[in-house]
A and B are shown apart, each in its own frame.
Chain A
Amino acid sequence: MGFLFWRKKKDKDAPQEQPVEAVEAPEAEAQTEPVFEVPVEIIAAPVVEVVPEPEPVVDVVPEPVVEVVPESVVEVLPEPEPVDEVVPEPALEAVELPKRSFIKGIKSLFTRIKFDPENLDELEDVLIQADFGVTAAERIVEGVKGRAKKQGAKSEAELKQILQDIIAENLERDDKALNLSSQKLPYVILVVGVNGVGKTTTIGKLAKWLKEGDWDVVIAAADTFRAAAVDQIATWADRAGATLIRPKTEGQDPASVAFEATEIAVRDQADILIIDTAGRLQNKVDLMNELDKIRRVVEKQAVIAEVLLVIDATTGQNGMVQAKAFAEVAKVTGVALTKLDGTAKGGIVYSIQTELGIPVKLVGVGEGISDFAFFDAREFAKGLVN
């Protein structure tokens, strides 16, 4: 089944299109773009300086002719409402985006190991080897034993069905769809995670998929730390046909990039704003605080619809630690499980979802721009057990 999302109606009058079009040249240098050059410059300076409060913005903003209604943005801090009112309630239409299957990405638990109906304790080992973790594995096996006893199940097929059902039941969630129906545009998606899990690639795929559904997508390149990260996201933005907001200077404060991008997305009435962030290990307090700051500055102007934590399917039990830490700081709303096309089974998401209550939403299964899908508990459980 597909999900219903709400986006801005496309048949808007011409004048509205213009600014959007002007910005929509992803590979172009930020400096040469007249449209967002102005606001970028104004906002950039004050935010970069580790300012605790963005008051200085007030001093600078009034002079140039920008139509973002600067006073209300700054003055009325407590509620993001002014923004909702500024955007003249775009007419929304329901869209159903194409569903994609990821079944080919899931590897069976039993490729190497035989399933022995006589010895269910070995099932625990099997689950451990799929990174479910000792505790979860024990619990699942208990569940299988209990249910098998109740139903008098003995054959391999029956037991496998029970295992599949238990995994699927525990992973099934109502909120697994992306939260793109609140009708509060732009939908802001913040993408976070440790280093090298595939955040940028995931954003590229997501942007492409949303563009296919004819949404206006803006991407903020807020990974200003890693060498050439901006170029990497630029390539993906280009492939997806999304607008890219680059940092103005090398090593610019990521929060200021996020701030500017939000401003531009709001002004241009984009449907989606995806914010790419630098990879950070969850035990680095400074870097985690930076994430918190990004979230706060974005929330001054818009509502964050999704905070996606990207988890590499090869990740072991540290995945739980990651999820806990990021959930606390960044208020993670969903997990994107990447690199499921390898030999890893991604069992760690079971614990993340069942113990921390964070739903898995997206799945990445390759390096191609279309290699991703929505998470489906039944499909996942079936793939694992068969």
Chain B
Amino acid sequence: MFGNLSDRLVETFRNLRTKGKLTPADIDATLREIRRALLEADVALEVVKNFVTAVRDRALSDEVSKALNPAQQVVQIVNDELVAILGGEARKISFAKNPPTVIMLAGLQGSGKTTLAGKLSKWLKDQGQTPLLVAADLQRPNAVNQLQVVGERAGVDVFAPEPGNGVGNPVTVAKDAIKHATKKQYSVVIVDTAGRLGIDEELMKQARDIAKATDPDEVLFVIDAMIGQDAVNVAKAFQDGVGITGVVLTKLDGDARGGAALSVSSVTGKPILFSSTGEGLDAFEPFYPDRMASRILDMGDVLSLIEKTQKAFDEDEAKRLSEKMLSETFTLEDFLEQMQQLRKMGNMKSLLAMMPGAGQMREQLENFDEREIDRTEAIIRSMTPRERQEPKVLNGSRRLRIAKGSGVTVTEVNSLVNRFDQAAKMMKTMAKGGMPQIPGMPNMPGMGGGFIGGGKSKKNDKGKKGSKSGNPAKRAAEEAARRASKDVEPGASGSAFGI
């Protein structure tokens, strides 16, 4: 997520962080890097220019020169300005006083409107709403079918009176949908419209007509995170043409730097409400500008993670577990339980991506095998209660039995036990001295080796500082080694440990 931009800025700031005092030349050099990074991240040129000017003004002012750590101050300013561009505070969807609430989706072709309609409806349904999907994209071949399939998967009703493929009038469909929804008491109506170009006057008028006919509470502009400089023009066109109230960013699970997101909210002044992060119906979450900015700066998205945790964890359970963790009596059994709790939060990959320092592990994250958790679970389930309580008793024959019982190799059992030991040590450290090294987060201690590197955890531990200390050659070598190790022992790679 926003991967390369984070990496870039982290790289830039690494030089700053070591300095005690900043000269104007330092600042200019840094800003040049930032300008370039932002442009390469597809932030619109005009937005970049304003951004750089704003940062320079503040960086050259007294607040920096008098700060204890000027470099950190510049980071702070960049962060603040990023948040400002991204739209400041988070906003929730605004519901109508008298249902149904009408949400209209608009955007270019291929931005992901239909998929998003499904996700949004599922999300609303999970919140106790009764959404109705409306098939008003009668243009693209089989868009109506697609929406029906998506609606079925989400368990949401679809209003599709017209077959589409050029047949039918979307304005009429939208109008009828509202009547239908009112009569049947749906609480939210989501209108999926055809993709259109900002310069296509005819289709923009049609979009306006749909808006007029349905009087939407929200008109969400759906935009692909991979879009380039044209994002500005497109956003302006939709704002002027239809009048948007918010933005949804899609395909954020790709490796696009997504700078266009910054441009869109800066140009339209409308907040980004949601981000869409995968093809599954659950790959969808509210967008938090402040968190996203710190994600850009690679400080992790700890807040999002906490929120997800809260949703899935039953609170007492979580409390009990965290007490256990800190009281050093954490066992494999607790670990199993914890893993099952985490599972409820959804996709491990997206969860791990929110962790601080995840930027460095992006490549490994992408290769993270969800089934690895199943295997880990199988291993633990093949242990006797005593073995789970006291992993120390695991001798060779026990390990062999466990390996047979869970259909893995002894090596995999060994590596699980080793990693559990490491994690237990890490927890002891945390219990004594709090979270080690959070702010800069050069690495996730005990974790970096833990989850993805597989049997390579030792190596990673050694490189705790080195892997992010600004020696790209070394980092590349390490990554290569990790990748190579994966090729050699695919079965043993990608453990789920250290969660």
The answer to whether the Cβ of A54 comes within 8 Å of any Cβ in the partner chain is: no
The answer to whether the Cβ of A315 comes within 8 Å of any Cβ in the partner chain is: yes
**Residue of chain B at shortest CB distance from A231:** B142
Of the candidates A125, A284, A347, the one whose C-beta lies within 8 Å of that of B45 is A125
The answer to whether the Cβ of B168 comes within 8 Å of any Cβ in the partner chain is: no
Q: For the complex, give the distance between the alpha carbons of A347 and B237 in Å.
A: 20
**Residue of chain A at shortest CB distance from B254:** A281
Q: For the complex, give the distance between the alpha carbons of A225 and B111 in Å.
A: 17
Tell me which residues across on chain B come within 8 A of A312, comparing CB atoms.
110, 224, 226
Q: How far is the CB of A282 from chain B (nearest CB, A)?
A: 7
B-to-A contact residues, CB < 8 Å:
36, 39-42, 44-45, 108-112, 114, 139-143, 145-146, 148-150, 153, 165, 197-199, 224, 226-231, 233-234, 237, 251, 253-257, 259-260, 279, 366-367
Of the candidates B148, B228, B254, the one whose C-beta lies within 8 Å of that of A348 is B228
Q: How far is the CB of B45 from chain A (nearest CB, A)?
A: 5
The answer to whether the Cβ of A130 comes within 8 Å of any Cβ in the partner chain is: yes
- Establish whether residues B366 and A284, one from each chain, have CB atoms under 8 Å apart when the complex forms: yes
The answer to whether the Cβ of A259 comes within 8 Å of any Cβ in the partner chain is: no
- Establish whether residues A316 and B229, one from each chain, have CB atoms under 8 Å apart when the complex forms: yes
Among B44, B149, B230, B366, max chain A CB count under 10 A is at: B230
Q: For the complex, give the distance between the alpha carbons of A15 and B260 in Å.
A: 58
Among B36, B142, B231, max chain A CB count under 10 A is at: B142
Q: How far is the CB of B422 from chain A (nearest CB, A)?
A: 26
Tell me which residues across on chain A come within 8 A of B142, comparing CB atoms.
228, 231-232, 234-235
Q: Which of A65-73, A154-162, A241-249, A335-343 contacts B (4 or more CB under 8 A)?
A: A335-343
Contact residues of A between 248 and 297, Cβ < 8 Å to B: 281-285
Please name 10 pairs of A and B residues whose Cβ atoms are closer than 8 Å in the assembled complex, sorted by A: A129-B44, A134-B39, A194-B251, A227-B145, A229-B146, A281-B253, A283-B253, A312-B110, A314-B224, A344-B233
- Establish whether residues B257 and A318, one from each chain, have CB atoms under 8 Å apart when the complex forms: yes
**Residue of chain A at shortest CB distance from B363:** A283
Q: Name 9 extra pairs, CB < 8 A, besides A125-B45, A129-B45, A194-B254.
A: A129-B229, A130-B229, A195-B112, A228-B146, A228-B148, A231-B141, A231-B146, A339-B110, A347-B228
- Establish whether residues A235 and B141, one from each chain, have CB atoms under 8 Å apart when the complex forms: yes
Of the candidates B226, B255, B259, the one whose C-beta lies within 8 Å of that of A315 is B226
Q: For the complex, give the distance between the alpha carbons of A197 and B226 in Å.
A: 11
Q: How far is the CB of A167 from chain B (nearest CB, A)?
A: 17
The answer to whether the Cβ of A128 comes within 8 Å of any Cβ in the partner chain is: yes
- Establish whether residues A285 and B366, one from each chain, have CB atoms under 8 Å apart when the complex forms: yes
Q: How far is the CB of B147 from chain A (nearest CB, A)?
A: 8
Of the candidates A196, A282, A317, the one whose C-beta lies within 8 Å of that of B110 is A196
What count of chain A residues pass the 8 Å CB interface test? Answer: 46
Contact with B along A118-130 (1 / 0, CB 8 A): 0000000100111
Q: How far is the CB of A2 from chain B (nearest CB, A)?
A: 30
Contacts A130-B229, A285-B366, A341-B197; A314 near B108 (Cβ below 8 A): yes
The answer to whether the Cβ of A198 comes within 8 Å of any Cβ in the partner chain is: yes
Tell me which residues across on chain A come within 8 A of B112, comparing CB atoms.
195-196
Of the candidates B42, B44, B140, B253, the one whose C-beta lies within 8 Å of that of A232 is B140
Q: Which 10 A-B pairs have the closest CB atoms?
A: A316-B228, A196-B110, A316-B42, A227-B149, A235-B141, A228-B146, A228-B145, A318-B256, A231-B142, A344-B230
Q: For the complex, give the distance between the alpha carbons of A283 and B257 in Å.
A: 13
Q: How far is the CB of B8 from chain A (nearest CB, A)?
A: 12
Tell me which residues across on chain B come within 8 A of A205, comparing CB atoms.
none
- Establish whether residues A315 and B141, one from each chain, have CB atoms under 8 Å apart when the complex forms: no
Of the candidates A235, A314, A347, the one whose C-beta lies within 8 Å of that of B227 is A314
- Establish whether residues B228 and A235, one from each chain, have CB atoms under 8 Å apart when the complex forms: no
Q: For the complex, give the distance between the alpha carbons of A341 and B251 in Å.
A: 23
- Establish whether residues B254 and A128, one from each chain, have CB atoms under 8 Å apart when the complex forms: no
Q: For the complex, give the distance between the alpha carbons of A281 and B1 in Å.
A: 13
Of the candidates A197, A225, A314, the one whose C-beta lies within 8 Å of that of B228 is A314
Tell me which residues across on chain A come within 8 A of B146, comparing CB atoms.
226-229, 231-232
Tell me which residues across on chain A come within 8 A of B111, comparing CB atoms.
196
Tell me which residues across on chain B come within 8 A of A367, comparing CB atoms.
109, 139-140
Contact with B along A207-237 (1 / 0, CB 8 A): 0000000000000000001111101101110
Tell me which residues across on chain A come within 8 A of B44, comparing CB atoms.
129
Contacts A231-B141, A281-B254; A345 near B230 (Cβ below 8 A): yes
Q: How far is the CB of B47 from chain A (nearest CB, A)?
A: 11
Q: How far is the CB of B136 from chain A (nearest CB, A)?
A: 16
- Establish whether residues A317 and B230, one from each chain, have CB atoms under 8 Å apart when the complex forms: no
Q: How far is the CB of B122 from chain A (nearest CB, A)?
A: 13
- Establish whether residues B110 and A343, one from each chain, have CB atoms under 8 Å apart when the complex forms: no
Tell me which residues across on chain B come within 8 A of A316, comparing CB atoms.
42, 226-229, 231, 256, 259-260
- Establish whether residues B45 and A227, one from each chain, have CB atoms under 8 Å apart when the complex forms: no
Contact with B along A17-38 (1 / 0, CB 8 A): 0000000000000000000000
- Establish whether residues B109 and A339, one from each chain, have CB atoms under 8 Å apart when the complex forms: yes
Q: How far is the CB of B314 from chain A (nearest CB, A)?
A: 32
Tell me which residues across on chain A come within 8 A of B231, comparing CB atoms.
314, 316
Q: For the complex, give the distance between the alpha carbons of A196 and B111 in Å.
A: 6
Q: For the complex, give the distance between the alpha carbons of A198 and B141 in Å.
A: 12
Q: For the complex, give the distance between the alpha carbons of A344 and B230 in Å.
A: 5
Q: For the complex, give the distance between the alpha carbons of A48 and B230 in Å.
A: 42
**Residue of chain B at shortest CB distance from A343:** B233
Q: How far is the CB of A202 from chain B (nearest CB, A)?
A: 11
**Residue of chain A at shortest CB distance from B365:** A283
- Establish whether residues B141 and A196, one from each chain, have CB atoms under 8 Å apart when the complex forms: no
Contacts A134-B36, A196-B224, A197-B110; A282 near B230 (Cβ below 8 A): no
Contact with B along A142-176 (1 / 0, CB 8 A): 00000000000000000000000000000000000
Tell me which residues across on chain A come within 8 A of B114, comparing CB atoms.
227
The answer to whether the Cβ of A133 comes within 8 Å of any Cβ in the partner chain is: yes
Tell me which residues across on chain B come within 8 A of A315, comparing CB atoms.
226-228
**Residue of chain A at shortest CB distance from B114:** A227
- Establish whether residues A232 and B39, one from each chain, have CB atoms under 8 Å apart when the complex forms: no
Tell me which residues across on chain B come within 8 A of A234, comparing CB atoms.
142
Q: For the complex, give the distance between the alpha carbons of A225 and B115 in Å.
A: 12
The answer to whether the Cβ of A45 comes within 8 Å of any Cβ in the partner chain is: no
Tell me which residues across on chain B come within 8 A of A134, comparing CB atoms.
36, 39-40
- Establish whether residues B230 and A314, one from each chain, have CB atoms under 8 Å apart when the complex forms: yes
Tell me which residues across on chain B come within 8 A of A235, comparing CB atoms.
141-142, 165
Q: For the complex, give the distance between the alpha carbons of A190 and B133 in Å.
A: 34
Contact with B along A317-336 (1 / 0, CB 8 A): 11101000000000000000
- Establish whether residues A317 and B42, one from each chain, have CB atoms under 8 Å apart when the complex forms: yes
Tell me which residues across on chain A come within 8 A of B230, comparing CB atoms.
131, 313-314, 342-345
Q: For the complex, give the distance between the alpha carbons of A228 and B197 in Å.
A: 23
Q: How far is the CB of A165 from chain B (nearest CB, A)?
A: 24
Tell me which residues across on chain B come within 8 A of A133, comparing CB atoms.
39-40
Q: How far is the CB of A235 from chain B (nearest CB, A)?
A: 4
Tell me which residues across on chain A come within 8 A of B145, comparing CB atoms.
227-228, 231-232
Tell me which residues across on chain A come within 8 A of B279, comparing CB atoms.
195, 225-226
**Residue of chain A at shortest CB distance from B237:** A343
Contacts A134-B40, A198-B109, A235-B142; A283 near B229 (Cβ below 8 A): no
- Establish whether residues A317 and B228, one from each chain, have CB atoms under 8 Å apart when the complex forms: yes
Tell me which residues across on chain B come within 8 A of A341, comparing CB atoms.
197
